[in-house]
Structure 1
């Protein structure tokens, strides 16, 4: 959502401070049978979520946690800023507004009053979320905002999520085997990965919805960015595309992680690779994940997008 990092860093630093004060059993709460971290989300915010009024020109990014959301949010903002050719004065005005409104990165993060404050943000707004479609405000679909759905193969997702939980004090720590079991059963923050992908698969043929995979962006970021730009109506020349690509590589983002995300940067930008699941998965876990994918996602369009046979087989 934000081009301004000052408030974002302050918010992220608070996560570390406040999260470390909580006992493990205090770190998560359940809302409609889905777990969420109390430091990031509030039940009252979910209750107020339906008051959010989407705009037709909003840029919505929906991705399950640890599928590349921060990376793609950065890309979307870079494409938007480059295409709309903000002047220095316009950029400063937008940054000042976001700072005054204390905007957080994710739709469901923060206090319930944020939705009224979001109405004061100038268009176009970039809005990220980890929520499934049935949990999103109805205005997003009613007003035909364009939604980019991000997916990543489940084996790399669970490994990345595990390492993230280890280092983030707002999540209860867990050993790998126990975390794997919780992930497979949907007993992690934001719920079941498999349910998430299945629910978004129902919308994949909508004209206002486009899917992109983490893996295809890693394979050819230039081509991926051009598809995304076309979907959202961003107009860039080849030189502008190349500049966004160069600034959006994992290496480039990791180098500025401390500046862009404070202490959170080291946690957020760990490896950024495909295939890291091989470092933790046992043979029995491999077989369990293969069966789960076949049961839940084989035959779906988003399941095909993930290219499970390519990225998740030994």
Structure 2
């Protein structure tokens, strides 16, 4: 007694809903071509540079998007540790059931709220933000976004849903973002100096990195926000798994924490076809020698990219914009 009608129906609906969403995802990926993706060109949306594949119609829809009270968000600036963190969170929300986790690719388990790859070309495809409404209500939705805080759906803030936000040294973000941009936009032949100019000015997808960081840094003490540093995650991955588990209201024995930690090491994620986006990207781009979505995942890689003047330019922004808020980087 006491079981609602939806409680009876959902166990039957859920597998069919998951199958349908998976089928839609794979069917769409199969028809995408490299020239369809618009992840390098940007437009201005309310003062923020966004990739063309983040459609203005999507951004308008997000203003009234229904957010559920138990939704969980992973929000980052691009290339700050998103895929890594979302996998940790996904494993936790699956209660450490890695067998189930490994049955579905991370890009299907964690929808990318605002992004519609190839959306400017394929207007017939159902947008990601609309498909997440079909996800079952029996368990929390884990949703990924690179949007700055002020552009997230207003209900995210009104309902104070849980958000994990990751900050990474902006120099390393620049280096990783450069290689990512070259991989996702091979037809543009992006060069480092041109990339750095766009990154430093904020005229790049998801806008000014310092504004993105500050929005969440200044809210880091709010109970529904868990702020992580990429560098700390590298130093103590197990401690990060425990911290995020507690934030999400989960308590696991040591063996489960250990299993999630091992699953989420960079080496294991890179070789796992269910956690490495390369598997999906190669279906669109074909094999690109010497490139990988999960390239190095290290601290300090920017030293091989930035000139002295470029490093000094980022240092100057950090001193002017971040230091007054006590946000610093080694």
* TM-score of Structure 1 vs Structure 2, range by shorter chain: 0.7 to 0.9
Deviates more, 1:287-296 or 1:104-113: 104-113
Residue 20 of structure 1: which of 27, 35, 42 is its match? Answer: 35
State the Cα distance separating 1:156 from its structure 2 match. 0.2
Change (3 A) 1:148 1:175: same
Q: Deviations over 1:242-263 (max 9, x none)?
A: 0011110010011124875315
User: Secondary structure at the residue paired with 1:278?
Assistant: helix
State the Cα distance separating 1:58 from its structure 2 match. 1.2
Please report the RMSD computed on the Cα atoms of aligned residues, expressed in angstroms. 3.3
Aligned counterpart, 2:313: 288
User: Secondary structure at the residue paired with 1:60?
Assistant: strand
Aligned counterpart, 1:37: 51
Change (3 A) 1:68 1:182: same
2:219 and 2:272 map into 1 onto residues whose CA distance is 35
1:91 and 1:57 map into 2 onto residues whose CA distance is 23
Aligned counterpart, 1:255: 271
Aligned counterpart, 1:81: 94
Aligned counterpart, 2:63: 50
State the Cα distance separating 1:117 from its structure 2 match. 3.5
Q: Deviations over 1:48-83 (max 9, x none)?
A: 012222222211111000001011111110111125
Q: How high is the TM-score relative to the length of structure 1? A: 0.82
Deviates more, 1:267-276 or 1:116-125: 116-125
Change (3 A) 1:298 1:225: same
Aligned counterpart, 2:294: 269
User: Secondary structure at the residue paired with 1:128?
Assistant: strand
Change (3 A) 1:190 1:112: farther
Residue 144 of structure 1: which of 160, 163, 177 is its match? Answer: 160
2:165 and 2:247 map into 1 onto residues whose CA distance is 12
- Kept in 1, the 8 Å contact 2:111–2:132? The answer is no
Aligned residue pair count:
292
State the Cα distance separating 1:91 from its structure 2 match. 10
Change (3 A) 1:72 1:86: closer
Change (3 A) 1:165 1:251: same
State the Cα distance separating 1:269 from its structure 2 match. 0.5
Q: Which runs of 5+ in 2 are unaligned?
A: 1-17, 117-124, 283-290
State the Cα distance separating 1:170 from its structure 2 match. 7.7
Deviates more, 1:4-13 or 1:202-211: 4-13
Q: How high is the TM-score relative to the length of structure 2? A: 0.78
Aligned counterpart, 2:230: 214
Aligned counterpart, 2:84: 71
Q: Which runs of 5+ in 1 are unaligned?
A: 310-314
Aligned counterpart, 1:131: 147
- Kept in 2, the 8 Å contact 1:165–1:172? The answer is no
Change (3 A) 1:193 1:175: same
Aligned counterpart, 2:194: 178
Residue 115 of structure 2: which of 86, 106, 109 is its match? Answer: 109
